[in-house]
Structure formats: C-alpha cells, structure tokens
Structure 1
C-alpha cells in the first residue's frame, strides 16, 4: 500500500482509473449524446458529465456549457459526490452552501442545479451527471426519477466499455491495446510525441512471489505501483499498463524533459513509497522513443521503446533513448536465435564442425582434436560461435545444440576409425548440459550407435564457477569421470579462475587460456606465471594443455616448463573433417621423416 493513502481513498483512486483517463474519443461522443438527451428530456439548457481526480473536476462530456474543467473548491458537483446523493438546488444564489461559489457568483453564473453521483459497482462515487440553468426554477419528482435513470445508463455504459478489453484487470489502467488505439487515433497531426516505457519490478521476482505467496499478493503490489505512478505522473501524461510491472506513458515532445525528470524522481522514491508485508525490491528503468503523428505502424513505436527499455536493463542504467544500431543488433540476434532453432529442429544445412588438433608438446604427436561448431547462415554468411552460442545459452536450445555436436563428433570419429585415423575428439559442454538428468544415458546411446568407447569422446567443461555451484552438474561430471571419460577444465587463467575450483571439480586436464600464453615470447613475467602455474597443476596431478600457441618460441618455452599438451595456430587452425585428415597425414609424414 502507498504510505500516504488510507485504504478507502486508495480504492476510490483505483475506481477513478477506470474512467478519468481512459474514455476514448468514440465513448466521449456517446457521452456527449447522453448529455444532449438529458438536457432535452429534462428541459434544461445545459447538462454535463464530470469525473474527479485529486484536484479537479474533468468535464468528460457536456451540452451547452461554457467551461471545460473546474476546480473542486466551490463546485456543486463536488458537493454531490461528497454527499453521495441526488442534489437539487433551486436557486444557488440564495443557498448558503453555494452562493459564494465562484461558479455561482462568476462564470457561468449557475442558479439552478440538479446532480447525481456516478457510482461504481463497488460503491465509489467517481463523478456526476448534472443539469444546470441560469435562472431559478423547480425540479419535479418525475424529473428526479429521469435523472437517476439517465445516470444509471451513463454508468453502465462507462463500465461496459471498460470491461471489454481495454483496461488492465489488475491495475485498472488502460492496457497495451488501448495504447495502440490512442496512438493510431490521435488527431494531433504533425505533432511530435514521445513513448516512454518503464520497468518497475523484476519479472523473475514476480514469478517467484506468485509461486510462494499466490497471485493476490502479486496483484496487490502491482496495484500499488500503478497507483504510485498515477498519483505522481497522471497530470503530465497518459499512463498505461502494458504487462506485469511495466508501464507506458504517452506525452508530447515538449513535455518530455519534465516527465522524464518526474520519472527519475519516482525512481528515487518508489522503494520508500510502497509498503508491503514482504520485502520488495522496486527499481525503475526507463526507455523511450520519439515519433510524429500520424504513424502508420504503432506497434513499431512500441517495439522501439521496448528496445530502449531492454538496453537500460541490460546496461543497468536508469534511462536510455532508442538507438537504431542497438535495435538492429538485437533484431539480428533474434533472427539468428529463431533460425538456429529452425535449423536444429528440421536438420537444415548450415551447422558444421571443425577440428583443431591437440598435440603432445615434446613429441609433437597428435593426441586428439577439439570439435568446434560453426554456422554458415544462408543470409548472414559465416557465423562464429561467440555470436550465437551466448544467445542459445539463455534458452532451451543448448540441449539440442550440444546433442547435435556430440552426435556429429561421434559420427566423425567412427568415419576416421574406418579410415585408419585413431584419435579422440573433445566437445565443449556447458553447466546447463551437465545438469541434464539424462545426459549420461544419451551419451552412452550415441556411443553404442557409433560403436565407440568412453575413450573416443572427451568433455571440456565451460563455466567452471557455475559448475562448482551447481550440484546436479557436478554430480554428472563425477559420474562421467568415474566411468572413465576424460574431463578437461577450459580457459584456466581467465575470469572466474580460482584454485578452490580445482579441489572441487573432478578433471584430468587443465587448459591454460591463450590470454596467459600470448605474451610469453616477449614478457618475462608471463613466462614466470605460466611456469609456476604448470608446476602447481602438476603437483595437483593434472595434465596441462596450453591453448593459443602461435609461434615456435612460445612452444619451446612451454616445452622447457614441461607443459604436456598444446594447440594453436602454430600447429593448425580448426579444419573441416576432410582437411583435418589431409593435415594429419602430412603431419605424421613430417614427424616420421
């Protein structure tokens, strides 16, 4: 609940959300017809429909009434709402309650007034239907009855309109469909607008809250967030609820600076302004895009603002404008992700493996190869793993992708066996893959199908820190090692490298990352670090493989330091299977000679 509101006022403000800001142009026209009909049936010169917010009475429809908005102070409609009853004043200029009202003593000089509150099904007065005259007069019982009937019709019309899909059921704010309609139907031709999106609460946290405490708790929090924003921003911009915890603001360009400033202030205050019986982490992130009316594709505007919001979330920055370059990158990434899914699902051509040889450093004999995935995309050409693997890692695609790599590697090992090439192939596996309950069963099935043994396929563990922190993944690795599979830890010496991981992760081989190797030729400190790292790993009974060997001098240093294995461009770049076989034949010949 918001700290500054009591429960009744909060509920009334939620009721106002259904009406005050959400009546569209078509409904306003219908309400105008109702005021015209009311004036005619009751034989009154003026009729109006008002709804109320914190400070003002908004005239949503009128017939022959000069004002467009009224302050609450001194307004007869406000008195009607407060009493929650039909009010008839035959001569306001003689009534002690109203004779000093600015609308009686001044423009439009009301003398006669009859008004009735518009009451929601929940019992909250949110506005009035009233008739006025500028001379004193009486009001019969039949006229009173007719005014009540007309008010019931008006309220039913408004609530029916709000019940057919343009209002968010939780926050009672207009929803995404209404936003699109408002952008499409805007009559402010050639005016510049800004669409602002904001995220207020982490979606994952919402799901966890729903799972633990139920949806009513979630909905209560979302209502309070919506109310907090409306109380702070509604006088500056139209507010929409477009998804759970996400809101949109549609403002004219000249109001942009002021509205964004208000939003930044809201970001500072939202955590302290909303109370709950559970801990809440409320944090506002904002993304926005500019456009001009008319707009042919409102959905594009919404997508651009969403792109800016996601940039803000990704960069942990409160406010981000739309950037076309970032948007194009994300669209390309999304295309790649969908095409990758389609390729795996339907076995389309494009994905293939290359193999980089691994050699014993002292003998220069080939001891195996690392299988590396590549993708020849039909539109974008050659796509390297660092462009599509990170996309797949956050989706369900990692399972079929790794499965594809293992199957292709196993088939290639079998082909090589049949041609007399006897080497093992290692594949890269993420923590997500190792955590799969049936990984070992699937692996054994692949080996049986290709008539291979546990010595033919090896595993290189990526994301070592995440593996140590994932008990399911760690258990799988231990089982694989116990069954005799060769296990390597990849990229030692970068990012999350920690000696404690070595004690907790079962492995045979530690791969030194190329970042440790690349400066050995010219930098003494690098050589000292590599030498002592190799010595330490040997004392812990690991084999050591150095990646990224690119010159003879580096190779010689590694030989001096008793590094066991190596791979790098000095020996060979990754090669497709046929080229690998040709390279291997030439290499063996050179070794024998």
Structure 2
C-alpha cells in the first residue's frame, strides 16, 4: 500500500483501497489520534479523510457527522492538492466557502484546519483535520502540533501496512500483496497473459529446527540472502516482481512474453547453497511450478491455489531425493551411514536420542502452565547433532513417523512419571503434516494416552508447516480428529502479518504462538509494539490463547503482559532442560509461588 508498490497511479489506487477496507484495530488507533488532535488543539471535532478522484471518505471521526462527500465539495482537497496545511478561520468570511453546502447545512463547518497525510514516497492519501461549528483563530504552534499528529498517523499506517502487505523478514511484498496485485490487473482491465511461478527453496522442518537450535538470526539472514540472490541468479532475464508468500517460498509474477518459466527458474537455481555460519552450510532443495492465467478469468486466490497444487505435485514427485549435506568435519559420517545410525537410535539399538523440555509461563500468575518437548541426539562418535542436521535425514529416509512415535512414547512416559509425582503439567510436541495427515493418527494417540491412564488434555500438538496444512484436506481433518479427542492444538510461529489471520478459522486451533522474530524486537521497535498489541487484541477477540516465543528480557515480558498476552516461553524463564532438571525446576517454581 504505502511502500514500493509500483507507479504512482497503482500506488495511489492500492493505498486508497487498503484504507477504505474495514479494519477495526487500525480504525481504533486512528480514532485515538483524532481524539488527541481535538484535545490538544481544543477544537471539538476531528476526523481523518481519504480522497480518491471523485469522493472524500471520512474515517475515525470525533464529533463530526459526515461519512462521505464529493471531492469537489470537500474542504480536504485543498490540503491534499497543495500538500500543505489548509486553514479557514471562518468559512462565512471566506468567499470560497460562504455559500458552501457543508457550511450552510450538515455538518455546518464554520472552522476548518487540515494537514495532508503523505507517504514517504510522496503519495497524498487524505488529511487529518479539526473542525467546529464556530470560528477560531489557530496559532503556528497549534498548526505545527496538527502536522506532528498527521505524521504520527502516517507512521502508524505505514507500520500497519508493513504488517499486512510486507514480509517482516525480507521486506518483500507478501502473499496478500500478491493476491491484491492480481486483483488489480483485473480491475484495470489488463488482459495480457501472465505467469505465476512459485519457488520453494527451504525445507521447512529443517528450517524450524535450525531456528530452535541456532536461533532465528541465521535463518532470517538466510531468507534475506535468498531474497537478494534470486533476482541475481535470474539475470539477465526479465523476472517480473518477486514476493515472499510463505517462509522459504517465493513467487514471481511475470508476463508470458518475458519467456521465463518454472523450469527455467529451476535450472538457474540448481546448486545454490549458503553458509549459515562458519563450518555449517545449507544446500537448497529447489522446487518450482507455474500457472499461466489471464487476469479476470479466475479469482486471484484460484490462480494461487492452482500454482500451489502444482508445486506440491512437484515436491511429492521428488520426495525421496536427498540433497547432499555439508558437514563441518571432514571425518563426519556419510548421509547413508547417518540414516542407518538414526534408524538404530530410534529402535534403541544404539543410545543417543533424548528430549529436553522448555516451560511455558502464565504471564498473569507467573506459574508454569506447560512445557514443550524438543528432541536432541548425542551421536556416539560425533557428539551433539542439532535437529537441523538429523530431522531432514529422518524425513527423506522415511523415518519421520518412527521419530515422531519415539518422541510421543518418551513424552507419555515422562507425563506418567510427573503425574504420579503430583505434577499434572501438559507437554506439547511438534508434529509434521505427514503425521497429522496419516490415517488413524488421532485414534492411535488417544489409545496410547488411555493405556497410560492419562487425559488427552495433557498432550498438546504443535503444528508446523502451516501453509501446507491449510492446503491439505487430510491434514485439516486430522487436526479436527485430534481436537475432537481433547488434544490441545497450537499453531507454531504465527507470523506478524495480518494476512495470516484469514486462515485461522479453517483450523481447529486453541493456542497461537507468536513468532519470535516479532517478539525479539519489542524492546527496541515502536512499530513492532504497535503490531504486537494489535495482533494480540485481535487474537483475544477470536478467543485464542496467545503465547509469545523467544522472550529473553523482563521488559519484553512486562510489555506482553500489559498487552494481554496469556503465556510466554523463552530464556527469560528457562532454557530447554533435560527431564530431571525440568522436574526440579517445576517443583522449585511451583513451591516458591505457593
């Protein structure tokens, strides 16, 4: 909407459309700004206007009874057209407005002062105004205050837009932005044939484990590097506009006449790798698929869904292809050897697999309300191997269901032990789309809990690969079966964009985990705080339990508590601990708070 959209006409159109669409959280903040303007200038009426070529639309009005008017009759057009503050101390003494319909009838404007709302690239969207039915004189100081408040409103709108239409990590336009761009083509009667090409670069279970074991910074840097590298690899081809439509998934919107296809993109990206940190490299497993369409013949979402379906077909066709791993040590075991050793570790033939647990804290009481189980592997020769190294091996070797089963069996054993010791603390496990989609998974899980004499509410299911789950009927049905049997469902790593909220109602979710990339910025970034507060408020309105990941300092914890966040998890409270240490920690914490 407000940043890097295209030419001026397109930017203006998208900006106006976004502001005219209803958004209660956005308008609540704008109303508070108009209240502040009226109070500081001691003028009873205030509103924010949005102007297009024909009309003026009133937003966030305080003591002002007008919803729309023609642009010709609007006072605000003078501020927008001039780009400067526009002040009329007494409309009856001004020849332009003495016989004006908005002066002589509702809303009976006698005094007007407005400042233009201008984006950082010069697009004027509307105004922030104060009005009254009596004349006033306004000082330069008051005019400056109104301008400052207008700049504050614009800064908020840009932060709101950034959350909704821009990927928070790469800065690229996001999935919602792509859908709006496709819709815009149809609106402007552009019927030139287009290609939508999707590019999957990163194996998401592996990326998830990398984030858990090495922190978000290396993974975020990897995504930023990919956003820069992709256009460079495609030179000198005209590759169109690049989007980030999901974590690790990019999209290109091109003209068919550009002669760039999914297969061309795939060939240009073969052999791409990146060094996350010294001694640890990742080779990308690239899949591409495309959909050719004529704007307006299908909806934007239908176009994207067909491209996604084609991409998933490509991924399934290559499911057993294992990319080479790059190891820090030349003496590291080969991948086939590691597969065999992992199989033996799962079967208990060789030791090494174990779980650690990280607590989840109630922000109101300070009490632990659950823990998350995380898998680790202490290799007999290589020492500690991160899940980012062995979980992808498990997936490609067909061992992921066995590994998930091992984790669940270990968690149920630990739950049973804690239950006997009087610690009825819920434990959540990370479950992939392969497990959730498997026939009978919920029945099997319920049977295991019944045999252990444990209620299903003590075993939480954390969903990974959300974009893939929402596009899979089998996965949605699997989640509904789990929910029906009483297993709490969490959505892991919820992104910062409001666009993500649209798919929540299709998933039977109890708990939303806010992404640590947003939480980590709360103590330094005003925009992040505005976004977090709005997201938490909306999620609470939808009756979700909200949990923040990656809380590392007390200031962030206090901010989240003030915003109404329910639970938190992070190093501020405890690092992931082995079972025995976790037991001691829980007992100490629960005893100290009694």
User: TM-score, normalization: structure 2?
Assistant: 0.45
The structure number with the bigger radius of gyration is 1
Quick one: higher RCO (CA 8 Å, sep 6+), 1 or 2? 2
User: TM-score, normalization: structure 1?
Assistant: 0.45
